[in-house]
Amino acid sequence: MTKDTSLIDAFPFSSYLNSNYIPLDEEVVQIKAYLTHSRKRLEEMRAEMDGPHGQVELSVKLEYDILYDHIESCASLITLPRRVPDDVLQEIFYQTLPTDRNALLDNNAAPLILTRISRQWRQVAFATPRLWSTIHVYVVPRSLTPNDPSNDTLPGKPPPQKQDELRATAAFEWLNRSGDFPLHISLVANSDESSYPPAVEPYLSALIPFSSRWKNLVVEGHSKTFSRIFTLGSADLRSLESLILDFDPWAYDNHGRELTSSLSNCGLLTSPSLRKLSIRMVIMLHPTNLNLDWSQFTHLELGASSGSRIKGMLMPMCTASEILHVCTGLVSCRIKTAGWAHYGSIHPMQLPFLRHLSLDAGDYFFPFTDKLEVPGLQEFDLRVDNGASQRHNIDYKRCLAPLFRPEQGSIQKLNLFANLLSLPPTGMIEFIKRKQEGNIPKLAKLKKVALQSDIERHEETDGLLPKLQPYISQGLIFYIYELDAPEVDDRVEYGNSAGRYCWES
């Protein structure tokens, strides 16, 4: 019996089968008509196969299977995923972007990967400006030495310098699709090789033309590498609201004064719309020497590090208080201080709107907390230098007490990042007992206490958590930030907030 393929051959869009082609509306009508006719023929063949004789030639079964598979392939051209309206597709695309960072400049990540699925998806992606309003550019490390063997590339792959130029061009085209949307940009070149200025230059050339629309900017690496950004004026950065500068130690040495001068006179810090500022790695820099309107900031991070403890600038408490004295509009603040504070050198700090305060203190800090007026404070983080605490026998209960005065805010979350050698469990339990007994009214709304501690090295390790269990069961939750912490009751939660900026909590 000769196999009949006339029906299969009659399909007008065979060339589009097994592809990501999306038919036009008039083509969908033709496909539906073809499917109706083909399915009718399939039913006839099925009836023949199920007839009273029950004897069917093998060729008929084979023809049936071939036609069935063909119909399935044809039907896939008009499935719902291919027919999603553009406005719905745009929203779906936007939801694929990461929420904890900017979108990567990477062909295998959204939004670029969306342009490789089908013609329609590519058109919709390119026609969605907000999809291209966020970008994270990581400068891939490459050797400083042109003849370095590590510079050798695979056949057909361009040399490192050309790769940087191509990626920079892609970044420019990316931002060129963003329409008039405010831009969220992060540029990271934090290795010796990638921070070599010629490696970063193409990316700066791609990003700077859009500086008037920069809303959030993160720059990480060696400060000299980004000198072109320092030449921008406040008019060039009129939309800038959030700025994070995370410079590496390589730039310090004798570069501190030059860096201070560059920052003081550049538009990065003088933009009238700037409200959120983070300067982390500027040890040689004295913040009060910067030409800033400190009163305009609502979120401030100076010297404090969200991640590694070795990062951050060491700032005297008197300097920190001098800055906070004029930052009366702060809502969130993370600040790193060092050095023994003389009570008379601390400025009064009245921060009526402050909700979150993170203090990284390397020494006795009672004079600092005693001068704080924070009637709206809800969350307080304390990081302490364990070495200093042991040298000076710091009384943490006394240092923390000013935050729980009647005129202060009702703290709901207290995060203590301290070695239990300097903050004994008995002291913490006594602190919690005073809350439970109502001896400290301002502790009444305290919902969470967080501990980051070396509990395994403390002599009371075995007895610590059982002593805390009654208070955990009454609603207090302890977070133990220790990767090798012992197993405890399942009511104790584990977490890690490292890596967040102070205004991301």
| Per-residue model confidence as pLDDT tens digits over 375-406 | 999 999 888 765 555 555 566 667 888 888 88
* Secondary structure (DSSP) of 259-271: HHHHHHTSHHHH-
* Secondary structure (DSSP) of 103-141: PBS-TTSTTGGGGGS-HHHHHHHHT-GGGGSEEEEE---
d(CA 370, CA 325): 13
pLDDT of residue 434: 55
d(CA 348, CA 370): 9
Helix (H, G, I), strand (E, B) or coil at 83: helix
For residue 400, the 8-state DSSP code is: H
The answer to whether 299 and 333 are in contact (CB under 8 A) is yes
d(CA 136, CA 188): 8
Residue 129 Cα distances to 17, 101, 183, 213, 336, angstroms:
32, 18, 11, 13, 39
Bridge-partner residues for 349, per DSSP? 372
Crossing angle between the packed helical segments 86-95 and 119-126, to the nearest 10 degrees: 70
Nearest to 359 by CA among 317, 319, 331: 317
Residue 216 Cα distances to 38, 181, 268, 341, 411, angstroms:
57, 12, 11, 35, 30
Residues 6+ apart with CB under 8 A from 262: 223, 227, 230
The answer to whether 302 and 290 are in contact (CB under 8 A) is no
Q: What percent of the chain has pLDDT over 90?
A: 38
Q: For residue 126, give both structure tokens.
A: 């390119």
d(CA 455, CA 138): 38
The full set of domain ranges for the chain reads: 6-83, 309-505
Nearest to 167 by CA among 192, 147, 141, 140: 140
- Which residue bears the tokens 């030059």? 258
* Segments in the chain below pLDDT 50: 1, 194, 251-252, 284, 306-310, 419-426, 436, 452-505
d(CA 216, CA 121): 28
Give the strand pairing for 477-480 and 242-247: unpaired
Nearest to 411 by CA among 452, 368, 382, 371: 382
For residue 493, the 8-state DSSP code is: B
* Secondary structure (DSSP) of 335-399: EEEESPPPGGGPPPEE-TT--EEEEEESS--HHHHHTEE-TT--EEEEEE-HHHHHHHT--HHHH
Nearest to 461 by CA among 420, 422, 503: 420
**Could you tell me the pTM of the whole model?**
0.75
d(CA 380, CA 375): 13
The answer to whether 121 and 114 are in contact (CB under 8 A) is yes
pLDDT of residue 351: 98
Environment class of 79 (CB within 10 Å of its CB; exposed 0-12, middle 13-18, buried 19+): exposed
d(CA 180, CA 87): 19
The answer to whether 37 and 70 are in contact (CB under 8 A) is no
| Per-residue model confidence as pLDDT tens digits over 63-75 | 899 999 999 999 9
pLDDT of residue 473: 37
